[in-house]
A = this chain, B = another copy of it.
């Protein structure tokens, strides 16, 4: 890695949601980039600091409308898309060819257009472009990301689940069905208020949703097939936590032979030996210790040939904006940690 001679020029499409908000928080302090455009349709012409009041005093940026003509974006090095599902699909094909793109939505994660349409209820209108997209789970796809022009940034649940399971699937030691019991904080539902995030209902609640049907399931299965010989039946179940931030995933696996905790830990440490953002903990990870950070905390436990892997991430950082910046760093030839070495707080 070398220090760039001048800052990279960045655009953010969809700056008013939580993904955009966290992209702004991270990129405003990134030493080698400059944000030259941030769009937000309903907040156009408002200052960023008046909408994201955590950033008040930190920036003079103003939200803009999305440009009508994308050919004006030639001076941009990379554009982030943090828009609702179905919008990047139409916008990224309009980008000048020299502009790299990282899409935080689900639009370009699935290679199979039929599966995409089944889970997102949208027709996939950019099947050719899809082939140029690299799946942006940084820790398992670094080399492909470094040379990619287009990144499909993983879903938050998919990130936590794949990081928990990748070493086991890669090892070929897994047999039988796999159960993933996943839990997310309320910011996963986005910045717009809705019945399921109405505070009086949510604050004392815990419930499951979309049984057997969550749209992150196919991207998990697809990428596990890229990591190893994945033939297992996978049951993936999502639940809602009464906290603002964090995803916790409990993965239940079976191994072909008995493994000790130490066997497991060695396997995982080896797999992630170059991955600064993967931390191993005793007992259990806790979303409290990764909140607002790019870390994924993992612990492993075995009981004969039954294995449980716990992982915890911040859904908006490692599960969205942080991992997107990690991927951007690699695409720009920077150290992947640049601008991402910050910790959460205690408490």
Contacts and interface: CB of A to CB of B under 8 A. Distances in A.
A241 interface: yes
B286 A206 contact: yes
A235 B181 CA distance: 13
A64 B286 CA distance: 26
Contacts of A53: 281, 286, 289, 297, 346
A60 B343 CA distance: 15
B205 A287 contact: yes
A23 to B, nearest CB: 11
Contacts of A252: 179, 181, 235, 237, 252
A240 to B, nearest CB: 9
Please classify how large the interface on chain A is, using the bins under 10, 10 to 19, 20 to 34, 35 or more. Answer: 35 or more
For this chain, the copies found in one complex come to 4
A98 to B, nearest CB: 32
A347 to B, nearest CB: 4
B284 A211 contact: yes
Contact of A203 (B177, B203, B211, B343): B203
A250 B236 CA distance: 12
Given A235-B308, A347-B244, A203 B199 contact: yes
A35 to B, nearest CB: 14
B208 A284 contact: yes
Contact of A206 (B58, B179, B248): B248
Interface stretch (A69-77, A121-129, A130-138, A189-197): A189-197
A264 to B, nearest CB: 12
A316 B237 CA distance: 26
A342 interface: yes
A285 B207 contact: yes
A54 interface: yes
A342 B345 contact: no
10 contacts: A18-B346, A57-B276, A193-B193, A198-B198, A200-B244, A200-B347, A203-B203, A203-B243, A207-B285, A235-B252
